[in-house]
Chain A
Amino acid sequence: MSKTSTTPTYSTAGTVSAPIDLSELKGEHTTLNLTNSSKNKKLVKPNVKVTLTSLTVNNSGTLRRINSVVIPIVYSDKFYKEVRDPLLDDINKLIYYADIPVGAICCKFENLAKGSKEPPTLVILTLAILAPYRSLNLGTSLILSSLKSCLNPVIPPPPVPSDNKTNTRSSLNVAPPRQKVNRALAHVQVGNDDAKRFYERLGFKESGIEENYYSKVEPHGAIIMICEDISAALGEESQQQPNGSS
């Protein structure tokens, strides 16, 4: 009996999200001041179902397709393997609009180890939405969901499946629990003002420029955008549940 209560059990609950209601996005995060941006946005009729899905080996083809169409950088196999790290399962997501995959977010954690100089940080690596689906609040809701889960880690994270032997329920290793992360970082290419504004609206601030961040595309420089306090940006009290109304 005590065993079940101490060792976290595996559940697939987080694999596919419940539908996200875009129309309520404004009300839920009033502090983000989305009204400003949605003034010139038109109402979408009829309402469309939007959901998130975890990254797996099998939908990796879809993720590659989205990234290769939206982002002019070719990512390595290693990149795609790393973003499927079970630790990032609730952060890295594909977004489905009307059951069609139209975008994805890929992040990684830095400075998670104890004693590192900087506070633990979520680094946003790629955030891609297919062109026809922009200005529909999809990017915002995708990044918000990632920031939220990085602030409120799901307990327990899903176990790590083995690559070389058959996976059974008992053979799965349970990943260690993750700590809260309250700082996020993103790179924006110099000159990409739209993207910069997008992050600023979410509470990110410019904190310097890294020269030669992009090796293969012009211009090489990247603005470093940092959000020092995610919970403040989300308008959440630190103890509050992610779904609690404010």
Chain B
Amino acid sequence: MAHPPPKHRQLPDKETKLFRELLTQYELKQYKKGIKAADTILKKFPNHGETLALKALTLHSSLPEPLTVSAVPKKEEAEAMARLAIKKDITSHITWHVLGILAKSRKDWDEASRAFAMARKQDPDNIPLIRDSIALLTHTRQYSAALAARHHYLLLRPPIRASWFALVIAHQLNGDLDEALQVYNDYQTTLKEEGATGPEKSQILLHVIRICIEAGKDQEGLDKLRQGVKDKIISPRGECTLLKAQMFANLGRQEDALQTYQELLEQNSDNLEYYKGYLQNKGIDLSAELTEESRSKILETLSGFAESFPRSAAPRRLALDYSTGDKFRELAKAYIVKGLERGVPSLFVDVKGVYTDSDKMKIVGEIVEEIVAKLEKDASLSDDDSISPPTVLLWAYYFLSLHLSHPSQTTPDHTRSLTLLDQALEHTPTLPELYMAKAMVLKRSGDLLNAAYEMEKARLLDGQDRFLNGKAAKYWLRAGEIKKSEELLAMFTKKDLTPTQDLTDLQCLWFLQEQGDSYRNQGNLAMALKRYQALATVFQDYEDDQYDFHTYCMRRMTLGAYISLMRYEDQLRSHPGYFKGALSAIEIYTKVFDDPSITEEKISPEEEAERKKQAKKAQKAEAKAKKAAATSGEKADPPVPDADPTGIQLLKTETPLEDALKLWKPLERLAGERIETWLAGYEILRRQKLYLAALKALKTAQSISPSNPTLHYQILNFNKITSSNTELPESIKSVIKSELPSLLSTSPEEFSSSFLEKAKSPEELYEGARGLLQLNGSTEKVKDVLLKLGDKSTKPSIEYMTKSLDLFRSISESKEDIEQLRSKYAEKLPSAWVFKSSSEIDKQIKEFEKSIEGYQGEKSVEQSEKK
């Protein structure tokens, strides 16, 4: 350094030597020695900031991972020490660097990136500092700053290959594709001899071609690709062909594009995208409404492909999407018969894609009915003397039952579906799919408990099938049997952890969601919230895990994969799993805000006693463990226990709305096209009294789906709370006044009654009733609306019937009225056990237990297997 260090940083020779030793000891991971050395220096110079910082770092690095109980205070000590070090020596790059490293290990990316920026200010040419800083800046998406740092880094180390390509990537991330290409070209022209390995070269070239496509320089990309193939840098198959096809298509060279897609199809004849690309380049616009002419053209092309790729199902399946009427019937029949004969279990799941078209759904139904009838009569589908394998009839029963009970049917026929499945089970009682289908149909008809028992039967057929095990556990959760489901799951999870802990570690999203739902349905909001928050944490982990790849991918030159990772992380929380979990958690938070008393635990004396017993047991076990540890001589240092095992602290939050908003924010950005996002947003914002933001949520929701039933309720709610609120500032009032008519064009009463007149679906009726309540409608009126849910003409919906019953219970004081509603619903859905009385349920459980007896057995064996 040009300047001599400031006075307070200078150390006498002996201490300088010790300080250097301390540095090497840290790097060699000799933490104990390092701390000793630091202490020696600090004894003489307690105000030496850099030594303090290094001691903090050494102490921090010496802690075990995961953190144990005894390590927690040490960690705090290290953090405090690092902050103190800054105070003692604010112009040292070491103190800031250490602060940055500690923040990074806490995953506090923003603070870390600030600290690294400070450190770089003190020592701009420190290579490791720049490298860490680039990763942090990229991670926090400060692309222009990252680019500057990259540039600086390259100037310091120009001969390193990786830093050139890293600069290409930095330019690309910063959105400057031309500059990215320029850097690559410059690098290519300056360096003749390069040491990159074959795979690295091909990775880089393919990525540069991808940048060319993105920048719209398809011709340049094509030239590079040709040259690359010629020089044998890239293989002409696979991705290279796909890129070539894209570039031809972009350049409008249809002939060449068609040729290339043909090549692609010969490489893989099952990729639907290739077929679609081929058809697009034949001049057929698949996104627009298809004309008769283009339809026949598509089908002709596809049948040609079906002939040239006889083993591929893709062209035949695609043809079902693009054909109509009799042609569809013909194609669908051939497709279904082939699937049934081959015994494809997923045939229905495959075919049901066409059910968005109700005519096609009807035709499929007729085809399968025909097949079943013919097989029952002749045991054969062909006209010669041969017979079909008996499994064809079996799979046809299976298909038909799934078809009949599918939710897109106007009136799903659960009874016939179950009869068919029973017939199939009589035919072959060893096929787990049949029990699973039965469970699913029962679930749809509302009989969750019976469904769980059927799923259990499927599971008992094959104890080593984890899919069946997971399904059975899920069905038990739906039926409210949390303990039973955990017992099942434990058969496949780690033996030394609880199943919940293991599945949380494994980031099992469905489990977290389902168990949360199960707890919520039982009224245990604390545990439900804990699971939903665990689900949100999984996504935070995904995001944090990305950090290591900023340096790793540059080193491995996997540029294409790196860019797609970055793009994936940017839209991470649009994942349906996050969407569902976040909405469920937000609902609980808004409930807590409305009525904080629900966070108080209501436990009966028996439960209280039970809990005390449990606590005593735990205490005893702990004492025992301590004793055992003491005798064995090892120090017991367990990992830090869960501070909030029941989730009650989560639920008792002081700031429910802020917590909810934190979950909602990513949805606003990433799931803005889903109306549920805005409906949930409204519920948070109106409670926060952010009326203009709430208004915006309503307006966005309206632009997505103006006839949404929940939106109807929310408009009435918004009108009510804003018109009755006298404390609103004038400016806000005037905005609402000018904007509200676009949502509510008539008087609220008229708005509600015209909605209710047209209301048909269960959801509309339920939300209409809630809207009525906003207008202070009488209980009687609400009841009339809710009763309609049980009418014959209304589509049955367990979800809304349950909600309606809950709603009515909360407003009505008349037990008779409630009973009237319940019995009407029970009549409408005779097998839905939520509308049944508890004695009926108990009786049924006993019957189910009996029916399953024949399937069980060798329980002892199963359990010993568990160990």
Contact = CB atoms under 8 A, between A and B. Distances in A.
B388 A44 contact: yes
A62 B462 contact: yes
Nearest to A48: B389
A212 interface: no
Contacts of A131: 427
Interface stretch (B33-41, B321-329, B379-387, B702-710): B379-387
B858 A65 contact: no
B857 interface: yes
Contacts of B384: 45
B463 to A, nearest CB: 4
Most buried by A among B380, B382, B389: B389
Interface in A64-85: 64-66, 68-69, 77, 80-81
B858 A132 contact: no
Contacts of A136: 390
B460 interface: yes
B857 A44 contact: no
Contact of B427 (A68, A81, A132): A132
B721 to A, nearest CB: 58
B855 A100 contact: no
B382 A132 contact: no
Contacts of B387: 42-45
A68 B431 CA distance: 15
Contact of A42 (B385, B460, B463, B867): B385
Interface in B450-493: 460-465
A99 interface: yes
A66 to B, nearest CB: 6
B861 interface: yes
B718 to A, nearest CB: 57
B357 interface: no
Contact of A65 (B388, B461, B463, B867): B461
Interface in B332-380: 341-343, 380
Given A59-B462, A64-B857, A98-B391, A46 B429 contact: no
B430 A48 contact: no
A65 B430 contact: yes
Contacts of B391: 48, 97-98, 100
A60 interface: yes
Given A58-B463, A62-B430, A46 B341 contact: yes
B311 to A, nearest CB: 14
A77 B857 contact: yes
A12 to B, nearest CB: 14
A77 B428 CA distance: 23
B343 A99 contact: yes
B684 to A, nearest CB: 49
Given A44-B387, A65-B461, A68-B854, A102 B430 contact: yes
B464 A58 contact: yes
Contacts of A45: 382, 384, 386-388
B388 A130 contact: no
Interface string B399-433: 00000000000000000000000000001111100
A218 interface: no
B386 A42 contact: yes
Contacts of A1: none
B346 to A, nearest CB: 13
Contacts of A130: 427-430
A57 B384 CA distance: 43
A131 B394 CA distance: 13
Contacts of A46: 341-342, 389
B377 to A, nearest CB: 15
A69 B461 CA distance: 14
B interface majority secondary structure: loop
B108 interface: no
Nearest to A94: B430
B255 interface: no
B382 A66 contact: no
Interface in B520-567: none
Interface residues of B, number: 35
A97 B343 CA distance: 10
Nearest to A97: B391
Nearest to B432: A62
Interface string B840-857: 000000000000001101
B394 A100 contact: yes
B343 A100 contact: yes
Contact of B855 (A48, A64, A101, A102): A64
B864 interface: yes
B862 interface: yes
Interface in B821-867: 854-855, 857-858, 861-862, 864-865, 867
Interface residues of A, number: 34
A64 B384 CA distance: 37
Contact of B386 (A43, A62, A97, A132): A43
Contacts of B864: 163-164
Nearest to B341: A46
B336 to A, nearest CB: 15
B836 to A, nearest CB: 30
A66 B388 CA distance: 22
B861 A163 contact: yes
A208 interface: no
Given A58-B464, A60-B857, A81-B858, A65 B390 contact: no
B388 A77 contact: no
A7 to B, nearest CB: 27
Contact of B385 (A43, A48, A65): A43
A179 to B, nearest CB: 29
A66 B854 contact: no
A80 B386 contact: no
A61 interface: yes
A10 interface: no
A133 interface: yes
B386 A44 contact: yes
Contacts of B389: 44, 46, 48, 97-98
A57 B858 contact: yes
A61 B463 contact: yes
B430 A100 contact: yes
Contacts of B464: 56, 58-59
Contacts of A69: 429
Nearest to A80: B858
A77 B858 contact: yes
Contacts of A61: 460-463, 855, 857
A46 B386 CA distance: 9
A60 B116 CA distance: 62
A57 B385 contact: no
Contact of B862 (A48, A57, A65, A102): A57
Nearest to A163: B864
A77 B391 CA distance: 30
A170 to B, nearest CB: 20
Contacts of B465: 58
A164 B464 CA distance: 18
Given A48-B391, A68-B854, A58 B462 contact: yes
B857 A101 contact: no
Contacts of B854: 64, 68
Contacts of B431: 100
Contacts of A98: 343, 389, 391
Interface string A109-149: 00000000000000000000011110010000000000000
The 3 A-B pairs with the shortest beta carbon distances in the complex, nearest first, are: A58-B463, A58-B464, A45-B386
Given A45-B387, A46-B341, A164-B864, 15 more contacts: A42-B386, A45-B386, A56-B464, A57-B463, A57-B862, A60-B463, A65-B429, A65-B855, A98-B343, A100-B430, A102-B428, A131-B427, A132-B428, A133-B428, A164-B867
Interface of B: 341-343, 380, 382, 384-391, 393-394, 427-431, 460-465, 854-855, 857-858, 861-862, 864-865, 867
14 contacts: A43-B385, A44-B386, A44-B387, A45-B387, A46-B342, A57-B858, A57-B861, A58-B463, A60-B858, A64-B854, A97-B389, A99-B343, A163-B864, A164-B867
